[in-house]
């Protein structure tokens, strides 16, 4: 029998677990995973083969949680890869990521803007080496 292959990813205030071999699991195994998730007020998403539980846990704590449940399977840790996209919070380009601004406008902002995003503008200018 195939056992679930879990990939754990820590998020800001929760964690996400992807089940890489969900299609190979039996209906009873999937129901057992659903029960595990729902008993912890989580959300199971069949389109992404993953579930999210709104609780901050480390990888080691998740391993212990699984071992104390009826679920079994392999567990891998994926380092947190989510990056916050810094966006312009004012003016004509409001909502646009700083990484997508024209060089000329970024240089103009660096010279003429002194608001709360000044540090972000300086970092983007340095990143681009302009």
Which residue blocks in 44-102 are alpha helix, DSSP H?
Answer: 59-67
Alpha helices, H only, the chain: 27-38, 59-67, 103-112, 118-128
- Domain boundaries, position 119: 83-130
Among 38, 54, 78, the domain boundary falls at 78
Q: Same domain, yes or no, for 68 and 31? A: yes
Strand order in the sheet with 74-78: 43-45, 50-53, 15-19, 5-10, 74-78
Instruction: Indicate whether 50 and 95 sit together in one domain.
Output: no
- Per-residue CA distances from 73 to 4, 36, 63, 113, 126 (Å): 5, 13, 10, 54, 45
* pTM, full prediction: 0.59
- Whether 67 and 89 map to the same domain: the answer is no
pLDDT, tens digit (0-9, with 9 covering 90-100), for 107-121: 999 999 999 999 999
Q: Are residues 37 and 94 in the same domain?
A: no
What tens digit of pLDDT does each residue of 62-119 get?
Answer: 999 989 998 889 999 987 655 678 889 888 888 888 999 999 999 999 999 999 999 9
64, 99: one domain: no
């Amino acid at each position: 029998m195939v056992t679930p292959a879990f990939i754990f990813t820590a998020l800001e205030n929760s964690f996400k677990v992807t089940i890489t071999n969900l299609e190979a699991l039996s209906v009873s195994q999937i129901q057992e995973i659903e029960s595990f998730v729902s008993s912890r007020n989580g959300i199971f998403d069949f389109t992404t083969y993953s579930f999210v539980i709104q609780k901050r846990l480390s990888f080691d704590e998740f391993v212990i949680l699984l071992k104390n449940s009826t679920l079994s399977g392999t567990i891998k840790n994926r380092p947190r890869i989510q990056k916050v996209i810094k966006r312009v919070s004012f003016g004509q380009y409001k909502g646009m990521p700083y990484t997508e601004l024209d060089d000329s406008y970024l240089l103009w902002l660096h010279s003429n803007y002194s608001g709360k995003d000044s540090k972000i503008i300086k970092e983007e200018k340095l990143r681009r080496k302009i």
